[in-house]
Structure 1
Amino acid sequence: MECLIKDRHALLAFFDFPAEHWIHLRSSNPIESVFATVRHRTVRTKGSLSQQTAKLMVFKLIDAASKTWRRLKSTNQLPKVIAGVKFIDGIEVIPNTESHAA
C-alpha cells in the first residue's frame, strides 16, 4: 500500500492526457516494440556486418516497420498537450476567466 501511495501521481498521470490519446498510452513499452524487429534480425546475422552495413540494415528495418505503425488519433489535441493545457479524467479544463464584481 505504501508503494501505491508513494507512486500515486505517476500511476494516475495517464488521466492527465486527452481521452482520445489513452489508447496510444496503454502500450506496455512502445520503444521496445519498435526495436524488437531490429534486435531479432541483427541477432540472426551475428558478426557478419560491418559498422556501416549494420547502420544501414537497422535504418531499413525501422523504415519498413514504420509503415505498419498506427497513426495517432485526435492529432488536433497535440498542440494543447504541448502548450500545457490541463486535462482532468481526459476532459480539457477550461479556466474560468470571468471575474465576479460585486
Structure 2
Amino acid sequence: MAHDTTDLPNGPEDPLTDLLRRGARDLIEQAVEAELQTFMESYAEDRLPDGRRAVVRNG
C-alpha cells in the first residue's frame, strides 16, 4: 500500500520535491523581476513637475 501524504501540510518531504519547489520558486522570482524591470523601463521617462521620476521602485 502506498504511503498517504495528503495529511502533511507541505506534501511529501523528499529531496526531489524540495528541489522542484526551489526551482519553481526561483523561476517565479525571475519572472517577477523581469516583469518589474519591463514595467519600470516603460515608465522611465515619466517625470513629475519637479523633475523627479514619477515611478520608482520601493524595496
TM-score range, shorter chain: 0.3 to 0.5
TM-score norm. by structure 2 comes to 0.34
Question: Which has the larger share of helix?
Answer: 1
Q: TM-score, normalised by structure 1?
A: 0.24
Bigger RCO (CA 8 Å, 6+ sep): 1
